[in-house]
Amino acid sequence: MTDIQPPYKILVVDDEPDLQPLVQQRMRRYVRSGRYQFVFAHNGVEALQCLREDEEIVIVLSDINMPKMDGLALLDQIPKVNPNIRSVIISAYGDMKNIRTAMNRGAFDFVTKPVDFDDLKLTIDRTLQQLLEWRDALGARDRLVALQNELNVASQMQQSILPKRFPKGAGYEVYASMKPARSVGGDFFDVMRLEGGLLGLAVADVSDKGVPAALFMMSSRTLLKGAAIGLGKPSEVLGEVNNLLCEDNETAMFVTLIYAVYDPSTRMLTFANGGHNPPVLVDAEGNTKRLPLTGGVALGLVPDLEYAQTSITLSPGDHVVLYTDGVTEAMNEDEEEYGMARLEGLFAQSTPSSAREVNEKVVGSVMEFAGDAAQSDDITCMTMRAKGHDH
């Protein structure tokens, strides 16, 4: 949408020869000041030709009775040439039938003959004012659409950095998903093959949502990957990422992060928790228990923190479920929270047999619980299933 600027070009359409000199005479002050410019046509066919050749015309001022194509037929044709033109009809005094027809066909206003030029000037000003506001609104809408397109690209970029295919080892399988509440989210997860056949697992949640969270999420994820590959021990990884995030963090953004390393040869899972929801363990009989917190603070807040880590040995058939608070704090239409109790009771009397089954059951249960309530937070869940060596 190009901005329109003075002189505003107005097309006057009338078959009678006396209107053109009158308009030029009575409106000359506004033409001379550079506000308006008038062009003339003598019937609807000529008028359409003018509109096609001159895109600067913003208002059409038209008589109704004309040869070849009358004013009412012209009104039907104008939007096909340019939908952003406003039309004002000149009609005989008291001709309400034609005026109504003209208004129904999209005329913005009308003036009556004999033309009162003060009234015509006011009518043109009012029409132009409405047109300028309309074009402003269209421009705003276009900018909004452009912004939405950029958000969609950002959303695709964000989703594209999340692993979609999960590493399969002899001793484990992994499945994960992230469902953002808005175009872009603040949650992420990662699965990394580390040296010595180890597996690195991370689930994280950046404070707040939207674009600032997405930016912080991208840098958190990169720093985590670097630290995970370079350092190894979950406690050291969290300490390092925390220090890096604390540098220049004036906005007090933070990320809660759980990072775990699994050794399939010993089935030992070692994890450190930086302010994140405790993982849940679901065994082969569907028994569920919460893994302990390790007392860590969310990352990015206070530098030089020591993070603790805890190790547990898994049994074949155990599932470790990492998730964000979008799972436990999901709300239904009655504003009830999903809560830990529902998550911990989800697998009772079941014998879960794959990471994907467990993961999809958690997310499905949350979505079913939330029903038609608007999703207020990103929902992220990752499940790792430990397998025996003979599987």
Partner 1 sequence: MELTSENANGAVIVKAVGRVDGANARDFHEGLESSIGADGKSMVLDFAGLSYISSAGLRVVLLVAKSLQQRNAKLAVCSLTESIREVFEISGFDKIVPVYANSSEAVSGLEI
Q: Which residues bind partner 1 (CB under 8 A)?
A: 205-209, 252-254, 256, 274-278, 293, 295-298, 301-302, 325, 329, 376-377
- The least distance separating partner 1 from the CB of residue 164, rounded to whole angstroms, comes to 26
Listed in sequence order, the residues at least 6 apart from 136 whose beta carbon sits closer than 8 Å to its beta carbon are: none
Query: 334 and 369 in contact (C-beta within 8 Å)?
Result: no
- The least distance separating partner 1 from the CB of residue 207, rounded to whole angstroms, comes to 4
Angle at 245 between CA 244 and CA 248, to 5 degrees: 95
Q: Alpha-carbon distance 71 to 383, whole Å? A: 70
Burial status of residue 348 (CB atoms within 10 A of its CB: 0-12, 13-18, 19 or more): exposed
Nearer to partner 1, 329 or 344 (CB): 329
- The least distance separating partner 1 from the CB of residue 49, rounded to whole angstroms, comes to 55
- The least distance separating partner 1 from the CB of residue 274, rounded to whole angstroms, comes to 7
Nearer to partner 1, 23 or 370 (CB): 370
Query: 367 and 346 in contact (C-beta within 8 Å)?
Result: no
Q: Alpha-carbon distance 78 to 62, whole Å? A: 11
Q: Residue written as tokens 């096909």?
A: 80
Nearer to partner 1, 10 or 206 (CB): 206
Nearer to partner 1, 127 or 328 (CB): 328
Q: Alpha-carbon distance 228 to 189, whole Å? A: 13
CA distances, 124 to each of 35, 48, 111, 279, 346 (Å) = 11, 20, 10, 69, 69
Nearer to partner 1, 276 or 361 (CB): 276
Query: 199 and 169 in contact (C-beta within 8 Å)?
Result: yes
Nearer to partner 1, 63 or 377 (CB): 377
Nearer to partner 1, 91 or 277 (CB): 277
- The least distance separating partner 1 from the CB of residue 208, rounded to whole angstroms, comes to 4
- Packing angle between helix 210-231 and helix 234-246, nearest 10 degrees? 140
Burial status of residue 310 (CB atoms within 10 A of its CB: 0-12, 13-18, 19 or more): middle
- The least distance separating partner 1 from the CB of residue 149, rounded to whole angstroms, comes to 23
- The least distance separating partner 1 from the CB of residue 350, rounded to whole angstroms, comes to 27
